[in-house]
Structure 1
């Protein structure tokens, strides 16, 4: 790797200057980069997707791919040739163009399972849930292949202490990148599957490739004060309320993290680690008593939601992404009712503005979405207002086989300009 790595980084849609990522030293080559849902509380806009990716099947008929989380790489020279990168879990990683056509597919390492992805500059960072590692891929569409892995040959474990613990699959899960206010190597925030833990990792380049070092951890609550007592989300035995959807607001250096059965947290970030978390919105199921049925493997509510419950999100709270413009808009997936919430980001947190759903139109609707990514950079005639990419958990037509994919939308109507 060369100093070209420095010059390629971006923070959101803006290209970062090389001065933001200085050389770290002579020996360093460069500095690198839940429960049953309820009806929507208010009317939502009905939007149409403009394109979609190919279906991904995960069943006994031969498929082993399950779409989950997208990220957008904006081509600074030819915006209309920008690339969407998406995780396919056991199926690895896909790169597609703005029509949804696959440009490249990469398999996982044996035992790997790619969960979430985020883009920083010309690099895609992936959480390998199967092996409890982070993976780094260089993006270079002009080189004959879009993605090239540049991770060190033996990357460190993200959360586990040894391979025996990896087998328990309490591993790297959700993921978001953060440039950091002081420059230098970028950071990654990863969550731990089936736990409340978040880890803050710093990336670095070595002669053997890109590695990372965990600098801090934060454990979010698993128990909450409700109605004069305490409430714990109903989950399978051995599980704690996990986080998956995350995004860093580059303006304020704040992490927004969706704890699936709880709500959205606002967490300041600094080079010292995590600041004090504040729960800025709650799911509709927050505080509602329920019991787990081992036979059905589902939770059955035993009482109505309490006054503390939220009104905009139906569990699970999932994919988060931020659109920048004359205002900052956080989009959040309300997976339980297949809608999305729009929030204005304020000095104190979030202010709910409105919601939307993706209906059947040019392509089919979006259901039970996990991941989301948005860019407000104009990407040619097809996406003059920017691009929103959403995971679709129930792609149709399905030919009798459940399948998943990604939908591509004009960002303007989704943001609600």
Structure 2
């Protein structure tokens, strides 16, 4: 860790936060219910080792009713849904390059608008392929006969973090992802985190004469993995042997070019999206500072006594991040608090602070349309999407889809009317 990053990290913890009360903090949160849900996917051989994870929303400017939700399913590849939550396309992840090698594993996805590809301007879905340590890029075209997503990844795109297939098979590869277009230059980028490490890398997306998309590394930043607590002691989050606290959820605020990054067992960071500034911790998980010991038999971390240095709003892991913008320029940074199955809102400050503004839950609409548990990815779009969602759409991952088939782990996505959520937040 560099001295500059360490100094930033240490400065974030100059004051202790009181220990948490015993009452369930979720009880006071407003609740919204889903309007629809996607078909369940199953993480087993019969289901194609599919595991729903991260969604992104694409708005069709010509016909908002034909807008799409694109979502990763890990080894199950990519799924595309219409606004009725019906699957319209399934894209398989790439096969392993050789016997015993890791197959493709699509982890996170985001949308980039108005990118020039040859003589055309297109919208793109950009995916982090954790299994192959690369980006995959798809042009979005509802009129394409093989579409609506068409692979435009350049031939021979490089691995992002690894130097060999052996390293790729060890799985410290591309993990979380968000995209960003710099308004000053109109250049588009992907910010990608590394599994099991604290590194975030900025990649510039570049078009080729063939109308495909390549990328090149611009720079990287490493977040802290060790923190000085207010009592003067040092703490590192417990993890599997050899691993560091990783980042998955990320989002960039286009108004000021700030990246928000969710370090799962630490909290939410804020840093310039071009990675030229030191990171600042916006909020900590409740478990921050709690000593823990890795138990090899159970493959779990056994926590010790809570010294009371954690935050109040996030329960580890903090996962998906998205930006809820409002017509007046205000809005929220929205975080998925996976540990207690809630969602946390922070003010979309354009200066140097993001105050906590509340939270909410997604609960069951009926016995057959459940709420969300252990949410990973989340996406929101505050724009009219035809008659289906005239006030916008919130899409959230459900890590425990119920009712499910016996002995099969099922996941899916819930679609929530954004107007309902905004009404609840305004009350």
Q: Which moved more, 1:179-188 or 1:86-95?
A: 179-188
Q: TM-score, structure 2 length as denominator? A: 0.86
Task: Find out whether 1:402 has 2:409 as its counterpart.
Answer: yes
Mapped pair 1:252 → 2:259:
no
For normalisation by structure 1, the TM-score amounts to 0.88
1:43 aligns with 2:43: no
Contact 1:217-1:274 within 8 A present in 2 as well:
no
Asked if structure 1 preserves the Cα contact closer than 8 Å seen for 2:283 and 2:311, the reply is yes
Aligned to 1:164, the other structure's residue is in SS state helix
Kindly provide the CA deviation profile for residues 130-160 of structure 1, in whole angstroms up to 9, marking residues without a partner as x.
0000010001012222100000121111111
Q: Report if aligned partners of 1:40, 1:337 keep a CA contact under 8 Å in 2.
A: no
Tell me whether 1:213 sits opposite 2:216 in the alignment: yes
Task: Tell me if the contact between 2:41 and 2:47 (Cα under 8 Å) persists in the aligned partners.
Answer: no
CA shift digits 1:80-125 (9 cap, x unpaired): 1100000000000011001100111100111100000000111000
For residues 167-195 of structure 1, what are the alpha-carbon distances to aligned partners after superposition, in whole Å with 9 as ceiling and x for unaligned?
11110000000101323330110000000
Aligned equivalent of 1:157: 159
1: CA distance, partners of 2:61 / 2:90: 23
Report how far residue 274 of structure 1 moved.
3.1
Counterpart of 1:414?
Answer: 421
Question: C-alpha distance in 1, partners of 2:111/2:360?
Answer: 25
How far the C-alpha of 1:412 sits from its partner, in A, is 2.7
Aligned pair partner of 1:350 in 348, 354, 367: 354
**Number of equivalences:** 378
Aligned with 2:75: secondary structure?
A: coil
Alignment of 1:165-176 (within 5 A): 165-176=167-178
2:189 equivalent to 1:192: no
Q: CA deviation at 1:62?
A: 4.3
Alignment deviations for residues 201-260 of structure 1 (CA, whole Å, 9 cap, x no partner):
000011342100010000000000112110000111111000000000011100000000
**1:366-381 matched pairs, under 5 angstroms:** 366-381=372-387
Where does residue 242 of structure 2 map in the other structure? 238
Alpha-carbon separation, structure 2, partners of 1:147 and 1:61: 25
User: Would you say the 8 A contact 1:293–1:299 is kept in 2?
Assistant: yes
**Does residue 71 of the first structure (1) align with residue 56 of the second (2)?**
yes
Deviates more, 1:319-328 or 1:69-78: 319-328
What is the correspondence of 1:61-210 to structure 2 with a 5 Å cutoff?
Answer: 61-110=46-95, 111-121=103-113, 122-144=123-145, 145-208=147-210, 209-210=212-213
Alpha-carbon shift at residue 312 of structure 1 (Å): 0.3
Contact 1:285 / 1:305 at 8 angstroms: preserved in 2? no
* SS class of match (2:143): helix
Q: Which runs of 5+ in 1 are unaligned?
A: 1-36
Structure 2: gaps spanning 5 or more residues:
1-21, 96-102, 114-122
2:53/2:107 contact within 8 Å kept: yes
Residue 355 of structure 1, CA deviation = 1.1
What's the Cα RMSD here? Answer: 1.5
CA shift, 1:354, in A, is 1.1
Stretches (4+) displaced over 3 A? 60-63
**Aligned equivalents of 1:207 and 1:242: distance in 2?**
36
Cα distance, 1:61 vs. partner? 4.2
Q: Note the C-alpha offset of 1:43.
A: 1.5
